[in-house]
Amino acid sequence: MKDTGVKGLDGQIAVVTGAARGIGRAVAIRLAAMGATVALVARDQGQLEALAKEIQSDGGQAVVATCDLLNPALIVQLGKRIRADYGRCDILVNNAGVGNLGQPLWEMPLEEWELLMATNLRAPYLMIQAFAPLMVEAKRGHIVNISSLAGKNPLPNGAAYAASKWGLNGLTYSVAEELRSHGVRVSVVAPGSVNTHFSGGSGKDPAKALQPDDIAQVVALLVTQAPQSFISEVLVRPTQK
């Protein structure tokens, strides 16, 4: 685990979805290095256990929280587990997502649309329902939703993915207004192309893409803002197209 030189999260509890790889993995490592205890959420228990051991071997704290985000009942159980074990949730990072790029919307099977929407939009809604009450009770907390620049622009042959991210952006902006009076800040991070398994088939040069650590650095900034500031949205673009 890389020492970021930035602490400030000692004693805090962070929940990160899609933590098994890519952006989620980088975010989990960064938050643990800053002192948080990180609940690693994904379906692949083996990958989560390996990541937890890596974090712990470097002096960090992490727990495996295997969960299928397509199952609302399991998300409710996860929220109850964190409440029972820790009594708090200071940081929620909704990162898990899927994409279906390369085909026009009119050719997209209904089951693929439903899987994409359930993962990219319904799961963040359910996670917020499960964890926002803990933050409201504490009168503090951070929710960070990982979106995409596809949620700001048209995306031919990726209309469903773009729709899910436009929806996630709208959800974020609106929930931020609902929760800010409770001391809870809700932000969205919208990256361009990131060098992960998710973009492996995009045909873009990985050397020119953003790296998962770039997004983790942004999340670290958001969750360490001074109390009087609120960064609601961050757009992250590669330096080179």
Whether 8 is in a domain gets the answer: no
Expressed in percent and rounded to 5, the helix, strand and coil fractions of the chain are: 50, 15, 35
pLDDT of 195: 79
Whether 1 is in a domain gets the answer: no
> Is the pLDDT score of 1 beyond 80?
no
Higher pLDDT, 17 or 200: 17
- Residue 189 · residue 234 · CB < 8 Å: yes
User: Model confidence over 190-232: pLDDT tens digits?
Assistant: 999 887 655 444 456 777 789 999 999 999 999 999 989 999 9
Residues acting as catalytic residues: 161
Over pLDDT 70: what percentage of the chain? 93
Whether 189 is in a domain gets the answer: yes
160 half-sphere exposure, CB direction, 13 A CA radius: 24
> Is the pLDDT score of 3 beyond 80?
no
Alpha-carbon 202 to chain mean position: 21
Whether 6 is in a domain gets the answer: no
Give the DSSP letter string of 166-192.
Answer: HHHHHHHHHHHHHHGGGTEEEEEEEES
Global pTM value: 0.93
Q: Residue 41: give its domain's CATH number.
A: 3.40.50.720
Calpha distance 39→135 (Å, rounded): 16
Whether 133 is in a domain gets the answer: yes
User: Model confidence over 90-142: pLDDT tens digits?
Assistant: 999 999 999 888 889 999 999 999 999 999 999 999 999 999 999 999 999 99
Whether 241 is in a domain gets the answer: no
Whether 176 is in a domain gets the answer: yes
pLDDT of 200: 43
pLDDT of 201: 45
> Is the pLDDT score of 6 beyond 80?
no
Please tell me the total count of domains within the chain. Answer: 1
Q: Which domain holds residue 27?
A: 13-236
- Residue 20 · residue 51 · CB < 8 Å: yes
Largest CA-CA distance found in the chain, in angstroms, rounded: 50
pLDDT of 204: 64
Higher pLDDT, 3 or 228: 228
User: Model confidence over 49-77: pLDDT tens digits?
Assistant: 999 999 999 999 999 999 999 999 999 99
Whether 25 is in a domain gets the answer: yes
Which residues are CB-contacts of 199 (< 8 A; sequence separation ≥ 6)? 193, 209
Q: What backbone phi and psi angles, to 5 degrees, belong to 172?
A: -65, -50
pLDDT mean over 32-39 = 98
